[in-house]
Structure 1
Amino acid sequence: MSSVTAERKNGIAALILVKPVSVSSYMIARWVMALLIVWFSYFMGILANWYYTYQLFELINLSLMLKGMLLYGLWLTLIVTLIFFFGSISNTSGVTAALTFAVTIVLSSISSILSKKLDWLPSNILKYTGELWTNGYLRKEQSL
């Protein structure tokens, strides 16, 4: 949460940005590294979960697990992007966390209330991932 705001407060960003580094390349590099950390951690967790489920219950189709992981990873990418966006416009990590949390709640609420009309909202990825892991496929809903 405080990767951008803490570096601005501590003066680390100023030390980096006095060199011939543009602000956009600095922010993109920080964003890509955060995404790599999140995706690697998420992949290792899914892999451990898959193995543990195999040891306790039965073997789960690995390709189905990876498809669901990629789908849910898009949601995590959105969350990291929101964190970096709000971190770049706020001065404290608490405001960054609150704004990210609020936008996530609003997106999820809107998609649950208007699920038939707004099927394209990013928060529906959570529903699609659960559907994929439960049924083994994504079904196309019939429109009325």
Structure 2
Amino acid sequence: MKLRLNIEELNDDFFEDTRLLGITAPLKNYQFCLQLNNLMGYNFRLNPGIEIHLRKKERSYYFTVYESKEPNSFLTHYLYHNQFDGEYLLPEFRHMDFLWLMKGDLVDDEKCNWIKQAVKKISGVQLVAELTNEQIRNKGNMVF
């Protein structure tokens, strides 16, 4: 008997009960995280253990992931850098510099809207948009 890994199912499980924001902000990762931490009270830190490694055309690409856990909650925020050396983690969202994934606990519309509004006020941020699961073609690229 052969067991087959259903990658699509794994990806769907990973994204269950998540919210994802796409952010256009031509800022350095650490500068953007510093502003999120200072202005919004988050604690984004680089987590090398969940860095995304993709191989395309015999080359390696590394996409950094920053992480901030919410106190007294299962909710964790992940901030992905969408670009490395001319490649994109989610090529369908080339215009997005960062992808903010909220995972581990339900995020209601009110909280999601608060985050969107607060991020929009950060200097250098040009666009903040919620991305739906249906819009994401390369979901598997974000799974760690």
Could you say which structure has the larger radius of gyration?
A: 1
Point out the structure with the larger strand share. Answer: 2
Point out the structure with the larger helix share. Answer: 1
Shared fold by TM > 0.5? no
TM-score interval for Structure 1 and Structure 2 normalised by the shorter chain: under 0.3
TM-score normalised to the size of structure 2? Answer: 0.22
